[in-house]
Chain A
Amino acid sequence: MAVTDAGPATEVAKRPSRLFKNLASKIAAVPMVLVALVIFVGCTIWTIYHSFTRSRLLPAPEKWVGLDNYERLWGENRWLISIENLAIYGFCSLTLSLTIGFVLAALLDRKIRFENTIRTIILYPFALSFVVTGLAWQWILNPQLGLQNVVRSWGWESFAFDPLNNAEIVIFGILIAGIWQGSGFVMVLLLAGMRGIDEDIWKASRVEGIPAWKTYIFIVIPMMRPVFVTAIVIIASGIIKVYDLVVAQTSGGPGIASEVPAKYVIEKMFFSQNLGLGFAASTMMLLSVLVVLIPWAYLEFGGKKNG
C-alpha cells in the first residue's frame, strides 16, 4: 500500500469491541428477533405442549393425557378426508399452477404486443381475496346460475357440470378456483425469471438450431431453478393454509367431502371447544410441512458445504 507521511506512529489503534459494531442495525433487528422467538418458536412449542392435554374451551396445561388427542384425530373420518383432500388439492395445485404459469409466462416472453395489459389481466385474480374468488366460482359452478346453465341455453340440453354438489369430485371444483387465482402470480414470478436470462443464450440456441421448446426445457428451466424454488415455496404455503376458499365455496360440503385440515383445526378450536384436538391437528400439519421441508433443505443447503 501507499506509504503515508503521517508523522511517527505513536500508539497502536485498538480493535473496537465486536459487540458495538453496527450497533444501530443490531438494535433495529431486536423487535424482529423477539417476534421470531416468542411468536414463531414460543407459540409453536406452547401449541405442541397443549396438544398433549385435555384442553377444552381454555388451555388446561395440568390435564395431561399423552397421545389421546392424536389417537382420536387419526381415528376420525373427517380428519382422514381432510388429509386426503389436501393431498389431492396440493399435488394438483402445485403441478397445474406451475405448468399453467410457466406456459403463460413463456407465451408472454415471446415479445408479444399488449404484454403489459395481458399480464395485468392474468394477475388480477391474485388481487382478490380467497373469499371473493370462492364465491365467484361458487356461482360459476352453480348448475342453475353458471356454466351448466349457459351451455344448456346454447342448446346442449344434456350438458352436466356440477362439481360442487358431487362428493366424488368436489375438491376439483375448489381446485379450479385455486388455480384461477394462483397461476397469474406464478406466471409473473416466472416471467421475471425468464427476463433475467441472457438474450445471447437464446441467440446461441437459435444459431444452433435448437427449437424453442427444447431451449425452454433443457436450458431455460434449469437456469430458472431459484425462481422455481421461490414459486414452489409460495404455492406450497398457500396450499397448506387453504381454508377461506373452501368455506366460501362449499363450507366443507357436500357432507364432509371437501374438508381440509386448516378448516378442521379452526372448527375444533373455536366451534367445538376442543383446543387439545385442534392443537394436535395443527401439530400434525406442522409435522407434515417439516417432513417435506427438512430433506429439501438438507439437499439444498447441506450439500453446499461439501462442494
Chain B
Amino acid sequence: MDNFFIVGGVVLLVLMLLTLYRAIIGPTAIDRLMAVNVIGTKTTVLLIIIGMLFNWVDMFVDIALAYALLNFIVTIATSRYFQHHKNLSPIGFGIRHRKEGARK
C-alpha cells in the first residue's frame, strides 16, 4: 500500500507542475492566482500523503489543516487586492503610465 501512495503522490506532483505552467504563462494576474489556489488545495492532500509515508500522520494532518486555512486566507486577500485593478496583464504594470500619451 505504501508503494501505491508513493505513485499517487508522484502523479499528484506532476499534475501540480502542469498547473504551475498556467501560473507561469499567465496571461493575467488572476489566472496565476487561480492556478496557485488549485496548487495550494492539492498541497493539503499531498501533505497528508507525506505523513502516511513517514508514519507520522497525526502531526502532518495538523500541518495540512493549517495549510488549508492559510491557503484560503491568501486567496481571499490577494483577490481583494486585485479588485478594481484596471490593468491585470503583466505589460500593464508600470509601463501604462508612460505610454498613456503615446497611445493616442
Q: Do A and B assemble together?
A: no
- Interfacial residues, chain A to chain B (CB-CB below 8 A): none
